[in-house]
A and B are shown apart, each in its own frame.
Chain A
């Protein structure tokens, strides 16, 4: 059984640029959630994908968008990067058992620095 993997591990961008982060979910998991973790803070929910559709979103602007593919892997896209977007971006997968809150298994994250 493979765990959640994310790429790249580190990324440096400049303000105004666009970035794409990638995530492969744990084997057998069909739901992917994305979180932003600023330094010294707890992770904050960005959105969730289930069966290739966004089905939950936190308080993040529309320039944060995502995709989920048929193999349940996922991408997080951020447009018009701002300095405050600098953070660790975590992907988490879960089995997708339905309406019950689920155990999340996190990847190691992508550290994004916006200069």
Chain B
């Protein structure tokens, strides 16, 4: 079945260091890969996304890479700041005539950035 594995489950870095979170998906028809940030008690917020026709996308300190052959995608945060501390979720979707809103989420990574 459809599955997304996310690693690590927790990640602690010093302020200014980089953080990398990795995900693997099982459905080879997946073509859309968003990343969400969820602070405690708040809604998941879309921080970056990538579609399968692109290998890499960058937005300021955040970048996402996609390897379709290996079915891997990763989130890279550079120059981390304490406000980056949150739970990060990767997700995958295949779209289609229905289920355009169906995302398969990973289990989440709790990122702690120490000042």
Chain B's interface: helix, strand, loop or mixed, by majority? Answer: loop
User: How far does the Cβ of A47 sit from chain B's closest Cβ, in whole Å?
Assistant: 9
Min CB distance B57 to A, Å, is: 13
- Which residues of chain A are within 8 angstroms of B31 by Cβ–Cβ distance? 101
- Cβ of B115 under 8 Å from chain A: no
Interface residues of A (CB under 8 A from B): 4, 31-33, 40-45, 48, 50, 55-56, 58, 90, 92, 94, 96-109
- Specify which of B6, B36, B42, B97 is in contact with A108 (CB 8 Å cutoff): B42
Nearest chain B CB to A100's CB is how many angstroms away? 5
B102 touches A58 (CB 8 A): yes
Known: A40-B108, A42-B105, A99-B100. 10 other contacts (CB 8 A): A43-B44, A43-B103, A45-B102, A45-B104, A55-B99, A56-B100, A98-B100, A100-B95, A101-B32, A108-B43
Interface hits, B22-54 → A, CB 8 Å: 31-32, 34, 36, 42-46, 49
Sample of 5 A–B contacts (CB below 8 Å): A42-B107, A56-B99, A92-B101, A101-B95, A107-B43
